[in-house]
A = this chain, B = another copy of it.
Amino acid sequence: MELQEAKQQFIDTWGALGSEWGINKSVAQVHALLLSASNPMSTDEIMEKLVISRGNANMSIRQLVDYGIVYKKHIAGDRKEYFVAEKDVLKWAMKIAVMRKQKELDPVMDILREISKNTEKDKTPEGKEFHKTVKDIQVLTDQLETIANKLFNTSGGDLLLKLIKLMM
């Protein structure tokens, strides 16, 4: 049972990493479980493997499906739903990144833009300094966004490899 042990370690590690980065442990573990599975799994199998409740399993799976990194799979002659993880790392990593950016980063940037506008006319040294602080964050974020867009709009699976060469 060496392989099963390795899979379990992967699931545990992934769950812990998720927790540290604001992704629910169960969600991360279900993702890891499906990533390491060779076959589609039902909710019951997931519940059993991870020792979690039906409610938790259901919600975790749904979130992953919503993210677009886990797919529903119907199996002929079976009434239950089965689930498979997107196995292409670049695909699922990008989807997670894009989703978190939209949900968590973009709203913050909107607020910063607003703060920036509201403090633009302030002519006190204190006001000018604060305005610059906020503006600097915006500029850096915009630059990083531009780079990220370039990266991900490049074609092919080895886009990163190409970029690394480009930067040499």
Contacts and interface: CB of A to CB of B under 8 A. Distances in A.
Given A164-B147, A166-B167, A127 B3 contact: yes
Interface stretch (A6-14, A40-48, A62-70, A72-80): A6-14
A140 to B, nearest CB: 5
A136 to B, nearest CB: 4
B124 A3 contact: yes
Contacts of A7: 130
Contacts of A21: 21-22, 104
B89 A3 contact: no
A111 B9 contact: yes
A3 to B, nearest CB: 5
Interface string A7-42: 101100100110111100000000000011010000
A36 B133 contact: yes
Contact of A134 (B10, B140, B146): B10
Contact of A164 (B20, B112, B150): B150
